[in-house]
């Protein structure tokens, strides 16, 4: 019971930290999450380390997300 409560509490605190993000921060966060998931999957499928694949993929995804953010300006 205590373990479930701790997991819910930590998850809620992590989600609360994402409330007031600007456009660039949102792109960075989502790029990092997508990159980490993809890197972990590729690392596991190729017989490498899923953790190292996730770390590398997350860093690359966050960088791409931050660099491609347009700060709310939309192209026409």
Q: What is the pTM of this model?
A: 0.69
Q: Is the pLDDT of residue 2 over 70?
A: yes
CA distances from 72 to 25, 27, 67, 69 (A): 11, 11, 13, 8
With bands split at pLDDT 50, 70 and 90, how would you rate the model's confidence at 15?
low
**Across 63-68, average pLDDT:** 90
Q: Is the pLDDT of residue 41 over 90?
A: yes
Output 29 or 15, whichever has higher pLDDT: 29
pLDDT of residue 58: 92
**Across 22-32, average pLDDT:** 86
CA distance 32 to 27: 8
Structure tokens at 14: 């992590």
């Amino acid at each position: 019971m205590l373990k479930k409560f701790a997991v819910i509490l930590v998850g809620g605190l992590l989600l609360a930290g994402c409330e007031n993000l600007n456009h660039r921060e949102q792109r960075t966060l989502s790029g990092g999450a997508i990159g980490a998931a993809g890197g972990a999957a590729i690392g596991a499928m190729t017989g490498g380390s899923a953790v190292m694949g996730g770390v590398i993929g997350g860093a690359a995804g966050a960088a791409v997300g931050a660099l491609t953010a347009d700060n709310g300006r939309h192209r026409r």
